[in-house]
Chains A and B, each alone.
Chain A
Amino acid sequence: MADQPWVLQSHIAQNNATSSITFSSLTSQYCTNAAGTTTLLDYSNAPVFRIFFKVQFQTSQNVLGSSNFSFHGNYTAANDFVYDYQSAQNYTSMSPYSWAGTSRDYSYSTSRQEVGYAVGGSQFNNYNWGTSVNDLDGNSVASNSRRRGAWITGWYENYFPNQAAYYPWTYHVGMVTDQQMDNSAAAPTADWGAWGIGSGGCTNGPYIDTITITSAYNFIGDFFVFRGCNGNHQVNE
């Protein structure tokens, strides 16, 4: 197999509800090329941190609050961030093919990297309006199964080659739901889903060998950390 510059470093399969997950020791692990040569995944050798995830919040809340879904690197304070979003938080209507956005909806703060206004709960009262169905294997799947709940997809990324500078997180999160999250019977409503695009950094220090994703509401999901290297240090497996 050829060598290439990307590494899937870690997967957290969070199948039991929790309020926090943490990736640790991200810059002290190694990747290996086809010749067996190892490379330390430190900031210089692997400057790209790319996190992909899917998550469900085990709550009926349609608005979680900005700080109630957040993440941070080594420092829990002094994380400057800003993000644009649209969700039930701002009460902007979402209707079948009627474009709406009443104002620039954004949130800014200096604590952790927050994206709570870009997501919503996955157990809203009407989400399981369907009936049981059989999956392709013949298993009966109830309408309120977590397999059929509202999943949120997320993408966090930065590039930090150990400069004497802040690292630039960018993030991109979204969900579309099978029903309005506020029990509305008809459009328009803001509760068909949520999305957010943002960025941030940390003035306490640009170090992210430990990354924590946390929420005030318990969640389940899959979380991956990929690393982009400054050379073809990893054999394609």
Chain B
Amino acid sequence: MTVKSKFYLLGTVETNNSTTQFLELTNISTDYAVLRIVFNGMIDHSGGGTTNVASGQWQQGVSIGMQGAWTGGPNASAMKYRNMQCHQASNSTNWQTAIGCAHQSYSVTPYGEIGRQYYHSGNLDGTERFTIEGIVVQPGNNQSKQILWKGSGTSPASSAQGTSYSGSGWTGCTKLDAQNSASAQRAMAPMDSIRIGAGWDSAGTPKTLGIYSSLAVYGEGWTSDVQTGNDWS
């Protein structure tokens, strides 16, 4: 077996307005040991885009699409996600976990999600910004792919209101369902694309990302031993 110390920024994209719904990187090289996905930015709850989010409510985090499985994407028919998201909130003594996504009634969802946060109209731009990063191990092999997320944000405390509802940390996992016949083939395919969005409100209206939100993907390391073809057992 051979390993190489091969490290590259494979792509980056950034919003230059507050009306962008998605940031997307496609045709990502999967010839790496690990891919690292980094989102840095915010969801513009203030109505800069098309949102109608009310002040003083918990809001879902960013939406996640992978492997081209999103509306209008090359593999839209594979939009069968399994998502687990977790957050630690200051109004609770414990971490909390949910399966799936906001506004979805079942565990198989059309996108993934992470980064639950509390929105108050008095929040400062700076306190709403957050960073999440995810890793995919062996992004080019023949097995189902999973993104492991970690991140932290958000402290909506520009005023006295909302201070009991800060969030401090997130973790979770996102993948395409590897059993569902609509997504299993794509789940085992290379992890070659990522789309991070601002999500939708309860009425289904798209939210938008704040200005200077960015998405980057890094390739980290290379190995000669990558499982390809059919099952090795």
Contact = CB atoms under 8 A, between A and B. Distances in A.
A84 B181 contact: no
Contact of B34 (A10, A52, A101, A135): A52
A187 interface: yes
A127 B146 contact: no
Given A100-B97, A103-B94, A151 B220 contact: no
B222 A237 contact: yes
A128 interface: yes
Contact of B178 (A96, A172, A178, A237): A178
Interface string A92-111: 10111111111111000000
Interface residues of A, number: 72
A158 B229 CA distance: 35
Interface string A222-234: 1010100000001
A165 interface: no
A6 B95 CA distance: 33
B152 to A, nearest CB: 11
B173 A153 contact: yes
A10 B229 contact: no
A129 B96 CA distance: 28
Contact of B94 (A104, A192, A226): A104
Contact of A52 (B3, B135, B187, B232): B135
Interface stretch (B20-28, B42-50, B117-125, B136-144): B136-144
A11 B3 contact: yes
B207 interface: no
Contacts of A96: 98-100, 104-107
B99 A192 contact: yes
Contact of B179 (A4, A92, A127, A134): A127
A153 to B, nearest CB: 4
A15 interface: yes
Contacts of A139: 229-230
Interface in A180-237: 187, 192-193, 195, 197, 222, 224, 226, 234-237
Given A137-B229, A141-B188, A187-B107, A176 B175 contact: yes
B188 A13 contact: no
B184 A141 contact: yes
Contact of A11 (B33, B97, B232): B33
Given A172-B171, A178-B82, A195-B97, A10 B104 contact: no
Interface stretch (B4-12, B157-165, B193-201, B208-216): B4-12
B68 to A, nearest CB: 12
Nearest to B6: A237
Given A11-B1, A95-B98, A134-B185, A176 B142 contact: no
B171 A8 contact: no
Given A11-B1, A151-B144, A174-B171, A99 B82 contact: no
A185 to B, nearest CB: 12
B146 A153 contact: yes
Interface of A: 4, 6-11, 13, 15, 31, 52-54, 84, 86, 92, 94-105, 127-131, 133-137, 139-143, 145-149, 151, 153-155, 172-179, 187, 192-193, 195, 197, 222, 224, 226, 234-237
8 contacts: A8-B6, A11-B223, A96-B106, A105-B94, A140-B230, A148-B188, A176-B173, A236-B7
